[in-house]
Amino acid sequence: MLLPEAFMRRVSRDLGEAEGRALCEALDTPSPVAVRLHPTKAGAACAPPHELAAGLPALSFDRPIPWSPQGWYLTERPSFTFDTDFHAGAYYVQEPSSQFVCHLLRHVETRGARILDMCAAPGGKTTLYASMVGADGLVVANEIDRRRAAVLADNVRKWGLGNVAVTVCEPRALGDCETWFDAVAVDAPCSGEGMFRKDPDARTEWSEAGVHLCARRQDEILRAAWQALRPGGTLIYSTCTFNREENEGSLERMLAWAVDEAEPSDEVPVDAAWGIVCGEVGPFRTYRFYPHRACGEGFFAAAARKAGAAAGTRPHRMPKSKARRSAVVPADRMATAEAARWLLEPERMKFVMAGDTLYAWFGPQAETVRMLSERVPVIYSGIALGQLFKGRLKPDPALAFSTELNRAALPIAELDEVQALRYLRRQEVEAAAFVEGVNLVCARGRALGFAKRIGARVNNSYPASLRIVADWRETASERCR
């Protein structure tokens, strides 16, 4: 698939003929393959390659991504679909350049922070921020499209840290949560030029009119993001496109109305060997990834700080929008007692009911999640524990992925690869590995979900939205290459 002619003319004009030609040639070369490891499920993220290879045998590790503490390049692309560790959330398949956002926050105190991921689907950066803020922090991950938000929620559940609230609303609704957030990340919808190498459809869908349309949308999102950010907080703006209108131009248009409200963020070290082109737009520090220079896809990122308060202070201003009647109520004593036995440290949790589902929220951010749920639609938050029947918990699939699950609460069925993949396809599995009643299903010691043995039959409880639908026979040869 040829590159759009208008695109090639523009990069040649913007970068010079030789540099523009090098970029276009790079867009016709294979993309690097990379993953980001889960901070606990994958084992020690800083372990040497031979230990990681033993713990994650489907992956062939090449070298670490220098700007991402848990990021690794792979020597080849495995069949992630048929790797049980992928389904257990032991790692996230994430493009190397996009992992740079964690580097931009290296001088920010993220533990215990509130971070708003304004345009969050499918969840790569959301799960990255969740790993950074810890159990005392909160990530609010927003996606305006409900279908994409469902995918986002699935990835948040699989990551299993329990410190994310997934919302579905217009950015301006979150802007009304004025000065709530210590950091706001805008991974803006864009024309996708940086994906030309990875996604052939991005080439056919691109147009100059689309560039202008995206730029106008980005201006609206940035205004809402700035309003939601507390004084002293950090704004991160990023796109996966090359053109100036959606990158530096968006920042310049923002600064025209933000005037003197922005100040430079702390400078982060960038090794010249990384191939990142650094720059400035007013107080914003900018970082460009070109695939002929850096080992990653096309990407643009920028960071600045909101002036007005010392870092580390957090004004608690209530949102301006009128609160709705909450659909969340505190769990009663019986429900709390039953929930407590399923978690490692229940004393850290607040237990609530939303409809017929019991949830656990980490105590430090429980009030924030409650107030948020009164103002915008929250489709997932904390840890979904399950439903109560006659005082006993029927566990939700999300609980299996949770790092807070107390495995002593139920028996464990350890499956071999063949049976585990049958389970992930929601097919029948052999009963021999299960005891009567509800079991935690594991492969290589990592949890995949729940199943219930009733006599000689096993009821498969794996979520339909996550099941493997690809045909093993169609991809078996690929897995062997």
* Strand order, beta sheet including 446-454: 412-414, 437-443, 446-454, 457-460
Pick from 85, 61, 83, 81: nearest CA to 73: 61
**Alpha-carbon gap, residue 35 to 16, rounded angstroms:** 33
Residue whose entry in the numeric block shows the structure tokens 């191939």: 275
Torsion of CA 66, 69, 74, 80, to 10 degrees: -150
Among 119, 240, 295, 442, which one carries the catalytic annotation? 240
Q: Count how many Cα atoms sit within 13 Å of the Cα of residue 210 in the half-sphere of its side chain.
A: 15
Q: In a 10 Å sphere around its CB, with 0-12 CB exposed, 13-18 middle and 19+ buried, how is residue 180 labelled?
A: buried
Residue whose entry in the numeric block shows the structure tokens 């310049």: 252
**Alpha-carbon gap, residue 106 to 110, rounded angstroms:** 8
Q: Count how many Cα atoms sit within 13 Å of the Cα of residue 248 in the half-sphere of its side chain.
A: 13
| 377-380: long-range pairs with CB below 8 Å, 24+ | 377/167, 377/168, 377/169, 378/165, 378/166, 378/167, 379/149, 379/150, 379/153, 379/166, 379/167, 379/168, 380/153, 380/156, 380/157, 380/164, 380/165, 380/166
Active site residue 240: yes
Q: Which residues pair with 73 in a beta bridge?
A: 34, 63
**Alpha-carbon gap, residue 61 to 52, rounded angstroms:** 8
Residues noted as catalytic: 240
